[in-house]
């Protein structure tokens, strides 16, 4: 932060000198920061060469997010190398130049990049860090990082003090072995993280980390954790219990592992461990092949603040008007409600499209996204009986629902009545996609302004 303030101060001191050579607006540091935030990396590289006044602002944006930590190693080797050999840069201003770049980095966006560093570069940089930083982080302003650990070698963050106490977000790719993942989490436990709020954990290997090991790391950051995503890391009811309670988490993504008979208890454990959820995304076990009743999520009624619900499974049962009424009493401010399934099944019991009027009855003012497996050929309610309308519905996902040509006009009239605003309709059914597109075009035809229409 000190480097950033110093840069701003130096820029202001040059502002007066540049006033006679360029437009005054382009000498205001705050304005330059805003303008440069809209430029691409290629444009920023050219801007950095325009004048010395613009250079630090352009470099701040260029190095704000780096693709990989290897780029930092490459920069160090360029600055420290002389006559083909790495030099001691403790005496002179070359370390200050490198440190200025380190202070600019706010995010490391991906783990994959060119392997440009050598063990010699890392060893040399480690000695320089010990001489200059005295235990501080090499990237003091880093706020988010992606880490992928390997079993054959330690991650760069385990060798150098890269992760600062102020880190806010971490994406951890566990794609090798549980031993390597546990080694890295043990290393993280030695860093006094005080602001970690977002954790994304991706398990792409059958050798999964034990929930108890992950719980040790997560519980250490329980006070600050807000967003928790456990991708491809399904948990049983027992695994959820091992994670513990996180009252501060408002956004949760997790997978479920177990039989359909355990779903009530699974969602009950989620409600107990994450009582203040506003967003939930759960992928249920694909081994569950029977139709699952929406009554299994009844335990989530305790999470009164829920605004977004994404639930994925092989087969959902039909949703009734009574179910919708209960949903509305549990979650009065629902914005997005998805009951998603990936594949269609010929014998599946679907939900009649007419149930939209029941959703409008309970969430007319709040709901703007809905996904259900609809039955379109079931009789629709008469237009005169539709008393409730959506005020902000914008996306309707109809799943794999088929719609015959003879039903198009009736569906259009009903959708215009129950959702009078502009509506985007999406479908997974390939055979009826053209007809659903026609429905969407007709529903939204009233909002199309032709070029030859002159508005008053």
Per-residue pLDDT reduced to its tens digit, 144-188 = 998 887 777 777 888 788 889 999 999 988 766 778 888 888 888
> Would the pLDDT of 450 be above 70?
no
Give the model's pLDDT for residue 9.
58
- 386 by Cβ neighbours in 10 Å (0-12 / 13-18 / 19+) ranks as middle
Give the model's pLDDT for residue 429.
80
- Distances in Å between the Cα of 285 and the Cα atoms of 90, 214, 288, 311, 312 are 57, 21, 6, 11, 9
Give the model's pLDDT for residue 439.
92
What is the token pair recorded at 320? 């009734």
Tell me the C-alpha distance between 357 and 429, whole Å.
23
Is residue 429 a contact partner of residue 402, using CB atoms and an 8 Å limit?
yes
Is residue 378 a contact partner of residue 354, using CB atoms and an 8 Å limit?
yes
> Would the pLDDT of 327 be above 90?
yes
Measured CA angle at 272 (ends 268, 274), to 5 deg: 110
Tell me the C-alpha distance between 191 and 180, whole Å.
18
Pairing, β 169-174 against β 351-352: unpaired
Alpha helix positions (H), 245-351: 263-273, 321-330
Give the model's pLDDT for residue 179.
81
Give the model's pLDDT for residue 355.
94
Calculate Rg over the CA atoms of the chain: 28
The helix/strand/coil state of 415 is helix
- Distances in Å between the Cα of 192 and the Cα atoms of 22, 32, 123, 132, 156 are 47, 35, 24, 20, 18
Distance of CA 146 to the CA centre of its chain: 13
> Would the pLDDT of 41 be above 90?
no
Average pLDDT over residues 289-297: 90
Pairing, β 369-371 against β 395-397: parallel
- C-alpha dihedral (127, 133, 136, 142), degrees to nearest 10: -90
Helical pair 356-363 and 321-330, crossing angle rounded to 10 deg: 20
Tell me the C-alpha distance between 222 and 216, whole Å.
10
The helix/strand/coil state of 424 is strand
- 19 by Cβ neighbours in 10 Å (0-12 / 13-18 / 19+) ranks as exposed
> Would the pLDDT of 321 be above 80?
yes
| Sign (positive or negative) of CA dihedral 247, 249, 252, 258 | negative
Could you tell me which residue, 205 or 305, shows the higher pLDDT?
A: 305
Average pLDDT over residues 275-281: 96
pLDDT per residue as tens digits for the range 342-366: 777 777 778 999 999 999 999 999 9
Q: What percent of the chain has pLDDT over 90?
A: 40
Could you tell me which residue, 14 or 79, shows the higher pLDDT?
A: 79
pLDDT per residue as tens digits for the range 108-122: 986 544 444 566 777
Tell me the C-alpha distance between 352 and 358, whole Å.
11
Measured CA angle at 256 (ends 110, 335), to 5 deg: 75
Give the model's pLDDT for residue 149.
78
pLDDT per residue as tens digits for the range 63-99: 999 888 888 888 888 888 776 777 777 666 888 888 8
Is residue 289 a contact partner of residue 314, using CB atoms and an 8 Å limit?
yes
Highest average pLDDT, of 49-63, 174-188, 257-271, comes from 257-271
- Distances in Å between the Cα of 151 and the Cα atoms of 107, 178, 394 are 24, 9, 47
Q: What percent of the chain has pLDDT over 70?
A: 87
CB atoms within 10 A of CB 400: 19
Q: In the predicted model, what is the mean pLDDT of the chain?
A: 84
Average pLDDT over residues 56-65: 90
pLDDT band of 397, cuts 50, 70, 90: very high
CA-nearest of 340, 270, 344, 355 to 310 is: 340
CB atoms within 10 A of CB 9: 10
Give the model's pLDDT for residue 328.
95
pLDDT band of 202, cuts 50, 70, 90: confident
Give the model's pLDDT for residue 21.
58
Could you tell me which residue, 94 or 338, shows the higher pLDDT?
A: 338
Give the model's pLDDT for residue 37.
87
Give the model's pLDDT for residue 88.
73
- Distances in Å between the Cα of 230 and the Cα atoms of 227, 367, 419 are 10, 26, 35
β-pair partners for 351: 374
């Amino acid at each position: 932060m000190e480097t950033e303030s110093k840069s701003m101060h130096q820029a202001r001191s040059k502002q007066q000198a540049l006033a006679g050579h360029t437009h005054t607006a382009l000498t205001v540091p705050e304005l330059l920061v805003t303008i440069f935030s809209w430029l691409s990396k290629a444009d920023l590289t050219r801007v950095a060469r325009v004048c010395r006044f613009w250079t630090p602002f352009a470099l701040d944006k260029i190095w704000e997010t780096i693709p990989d930590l290897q780029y930092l190693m490459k920069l160090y080797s360029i600055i420290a190398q002389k006559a083909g050999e790495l030099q001691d840069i403790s005496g002179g201003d070359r370390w200050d130049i490198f440190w200025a770049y380190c202070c600019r980095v706010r995010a490391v966006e991906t783990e994959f990049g060119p392997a440009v560093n050598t063990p010699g570069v890392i060893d040399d940089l480690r000695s320089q860090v010990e001489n200059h930083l005295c235990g501080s982080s090499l990237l003091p302003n880093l706020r988010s990082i992606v880490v992928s650990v390997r079993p054959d070698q330690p991650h760069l963050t385990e060798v150098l003090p890269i992760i600062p106490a102020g880190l806010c977000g971490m994406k951890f790719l566990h794609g090798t072995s549980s031993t390597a993942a546990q080694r890295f989490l043990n290393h993280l436990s030695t860093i006094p993280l005080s602001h970690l709020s977002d954790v994304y954990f991706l398990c792409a290997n059958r050798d999964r980390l034990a929930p108890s090991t992950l719980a040790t790391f997560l519980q250490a950051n329980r006070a600050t954790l807000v967003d928790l995503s456990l991708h491809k890391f399904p948990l049983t009811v027992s695994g959820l219990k091992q994670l513990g309670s996180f009252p501060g988490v408002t956004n949760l993504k997790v997978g479920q592992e177990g039989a359909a008979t355990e779903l009530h208890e699974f969602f009950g454990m989620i409600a107990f461990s994450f009582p203040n959820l506003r967003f939930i995304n759960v992928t249920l076990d694909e081994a569950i092949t029977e139709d699952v009743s929406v009554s299994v999520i009844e335990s989530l009624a305790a999470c009164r603040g829920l605004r977004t619900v994404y639930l994925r499974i092989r087969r959902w049962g039909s949703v009734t008007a009574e179910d919708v009424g209960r949903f509305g009493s549990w979650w009065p401010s629902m914005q997005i409600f998805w009951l998603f399934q990936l594949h269609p099944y010929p014998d599946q019991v679907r939900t009649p499209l007419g149930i939209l009027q029941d959703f409008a009855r309970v969430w007319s003012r709040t709901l703007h996204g809905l996904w259900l497996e609809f039955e379109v050929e079931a009789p629709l309610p008469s237009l005169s009986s539709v008393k409730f309308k959506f005020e902000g519905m914008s996306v309707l996902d109809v799943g794999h629902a088929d719609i015959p040509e003879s039903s198009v006009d009736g569906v259009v009239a009903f959708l215009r009545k129950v959702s009078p605003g502009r509506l985007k309709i999406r479908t997974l059914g390939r055979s009826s996609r053209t007809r659903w597109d026609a429905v969407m075009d007709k529903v939204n035809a009233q909002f199309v302004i032709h070029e030859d229409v002159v508005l008053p």
